[in-house]
Amino acid sequence: GLHAKFVAKTGKKYWGSCADAGLINNAANVAILRSDFGQVTGENSMKWDALQPSRGNFNWGNADTLVNWAVSNGKLIRGHTLVWHSQLPSWVQGINNRDTLTTVIQDHIRAVAGRYAGKIYGLLLIFLLYLTKLSVSEILNENGTLRSSVFSNVLGESFVAIAFRAARQYDPYSKLYINDYNLDSNNAKTQGTVAIVKRVNQAGKLIDGIGTQMHLEANGAGGTLAALQALAGAGVEEVAITELDIKGASSNDYLTVLNACRQVPTCVGITSWGVSDRDSWRSQNSPLLFDTNYRPKAAYNALISAL
Ligand code: XIL
């Protein structure tokens, strides 16, 4: 399958997909996850609104389902996401006190990072391969400045270090990522991401990696190599393509993304944002590697041939 070939060619890089309980219980989808993907990211199950819909009340069901499936099927897991302005419950959005919000961020991260890191590490004992990767998502505007959210409005840029310090404390084994969209070329947002990572890491290394989501338009993959190289220039251990989908799914665009990740030593892998066009959040754009009947598309065949 795709992942196995990518690993064979590169020695280590993974190709993954997002998934969750419904897609794991979908026979056609899970068969492809097993054969072609080596890593999973929770599509929605690890978001704040799913895990902690009201203060102190956690719903672990769907996230546990995904983690248990990944562990028993030998798939790497990326955690998604610890701190994000979106899919954030209103009880968090309404906090306007610095100390309260700091405690709430720390409590959330302690619960989530603590639950999965130890479990996966302890179960598999090969944490170099099966490491979780935890992220803080979408904190910048297109011009590289800090995005307005309850986190930045109440705590300023300090929320970034607060979150990463907590993640490091409660899960010392996982790689900690910043993750954002439109980091598709060496643009202002990419440069802003590099700048904030350098600032935060100046006081002690907190951010291990940068994820570029890559929700691309047709013919939009041309800047991928420049983006990955610029992000790697922040001095992080890793960069990753975390949510790849491409309008029209042309073979050429997919090959361009593949080759960019192959050329950048710090690029650890590529995650497709779904297996098939049937289940994609952009399903009307035909963006993925398998069609609405779970059949491989031309872009899939092109990747397999190139590997
Ligand atoms: C999307 C999911 O795919 C949808 O099911 C959900 O309704 C909305 O979120 N950037 C991200 C992902 O970081 O979490 C988003 O996933 C897509 C955009």
Lowest mean pLDDT among 122-131, 152-161, 250-259: 122-131
Q: How far apart are CA 115 and CA 260, in angstroms?
A: 34
Give the DSSP letter string of 157-199: THHHHHHHHHHHHH-TTSEEEEEES--SSS-HHHHHHHHHHHH
Q: Is the pLDDT of residue 150 over 80?
A: yes
Distances (CA, A) of 236 to 158, 263, 267, 304: 20, 16, 11, 30
DSSP state of 287: -
Give the CA count within 13 Å in the CB-facing half-sphere of 77.
Answer: 32
How far, rounded to the nearest angstrom, does the alpha carbon of residue 124 sit from its chain's CA centroid? Answer: 21
Q: Is 43 in the pocket of ligand 1 (CB under 6 A)?
A: yes
Q: How far apart are CA 259 and CA 38, in angstroms?
A: 18
Q: How far apart are CA 18 and CA 81, in angstroms?
A: 12
ipTM computed for the complex: 0.99
| CA of residue 282 to ligand 1 center, whole Å | 10
Q: How far apart are CA 47 and CA 167, in angstroms?
A: 15
Look at residue 79 and give its three-state secondary structure. coil
From the list 120, 132, 42, the residue with the least C-alpha distance to 87 is 42
Joined tokens for residue 180: 């954002």
Q: Is the pLDDT of residue 227 over 70?
A: yes
What integer best gives the mean pLDDT of the chain?
93
Q: How far apart are CA 42 and CA 270, in angstroms?
A: 15
* pLDDT more than 70, % of the chain: 95
| CA of residue 86 to ligand 1 center, whole Å | 9
From the list 166, 172, 175, 75, the residue with the least C-alpha distance to 134 is 175
From the list 236, 232, 227, the residue with the least C-alpha distance to 260 is 227
Q: Is 245 in the pocket of ligand 1 (CB under 6 A)?
A: no
| CA of residue 41 to ligand 1 center, whole Å | 11
Look at residue 126 and give its three-state secondary structure. coil
Q: Is the pLDDT of residue 130 over 50?
A: no
Q: Is 282 in the pocket of ligand 1 (CB under 6 A)?
A: no
**Which amino acid is located at 52 in the chain?**
Q
How does pLDDT run across 67-81, given as a tens digit for each residue?
999 988 989 889 999
Residue nearest to atom 4 of ligand 1 (CA): 281
Q: Ligand 1 pocket test: pick from 23, 147, 272, 273 the residue with the most ligand atoms within 8 Å of its Cβ.
A: 273
Question: Predicted confidence band at 128 (pLDDT cuts at 50, 70, 90)?
Answer: very low
Neighbours of 292 (CB within 10 A): 13
| CA of residue 43 to ligand 1 center, whole Å | 6
- Contact at 8 Å (CB) between 247 and 237? no
- Residue 47 Rama label (left phi>0; alpha psi -120 to 50; beta): beta
Question: The tokens 């910048």 sit on which residue?
Answer: 140
DSSP state of 256: H
Question: Predicted confidence band at 116 (pLDDT cuts at 50, 70, 90)?
Answer: confident
Whether residue 65 has a cis bond before it, omega within 30° of 0? no
Range 84-108 average pLDDT: 97
Which atom of ligand 1 is least distant from the CA of 242? 13
From the list 38, 48, 35, 44, the residue with the least C-alpha distance to 17 is 38
How does pLDDT run across 30-47, given as a tens digit for each residue?
999 999 999 999 999 999
pLDDT the model gives residue 118:
57
Q: pTM surpassing 0.90? A: yes
Please name the residues in contact with 159: beta carbons below 8 A apart, sequence gap of 6 or more: 83, 101, 105, 151, 152
